[in-house]
């Protein structure tokens, strides 16, 4: 599967959004096993995302209002999110 191209300037990598930001996952820019693992955690295009907290090595993210997932910065960089209006 190819990695999607992002052309919308309002869609940015997850680490660029501050704590408390809510949005929709628009693209997963990972491939292979890493993409499958992110999907298992609920990170699929269309998922509701909330940045819950930050740590030294990554983020705590709410996914679809029913799970909280800690993700390292490298993984978070592969998740491209559009903020809710």
3 in a structural domain: no
Give yes or no for residue 84 having a pLDDT over 80. no
Which pairing describes strands 58-63 and 79-83: parallel, antiparallel, or unpaired? unpaired
2 in a structural domain: no
1 in a structural domain: no
Q: Which domain holds residue 33?
A: 11-83
Burial track 9-33 (b if 16+ CB lie within 10 A, e otherwise)? eebbbbbebeeeeebebbbbebeee
Would you place residue 85 in the very low, low, confident or very high pLDDT band (cuts 50, 70, 90)? low
CA distance linking residue 72 with residue 74, whole number of Å: 6
Q: What is the mean pLDDT of residues 13-39?
A: 93
Would you call 34 helix, strand, or coil by DSSP?
helix
6 in a structural domain: no
Higher pLDDT, 2 or 50: 50
Domain total for the chain?
1
4 in a structural domain: no
Measure the N-to-C terminal CA separation of the chain; round to a whole number of Å. Answer: 31
Q: What is the pLDDT of residues 38-83, one digit of tens each?
A: 999 999 999 999 999 998 889 999 998 888 999 999 999 999 999 8
Q: What is the pTM of this model?
A: 0.85
- What CATH number did the domain enclosing 78 receive? 2.30.30.90
């Amino acid at each position: 599967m190819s990695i999607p191209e992002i052309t919308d300037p309002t869609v940015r990598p997850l680490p660029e959004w501050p704590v408390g930001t809510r949005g929709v996952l628009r693209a997963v820019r990972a491939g292979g096993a890493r993409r499958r693992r992110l999907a298992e955690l609920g990170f699929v295009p269309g998922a509701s995302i909330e940045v819950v907290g930050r740590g030294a090595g990554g983020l705590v993210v709410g996914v679809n209002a029913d799970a909280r997932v800690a993700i390292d910065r490298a993984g978070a960089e592969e998740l491209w999110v559009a903020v809710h209006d």
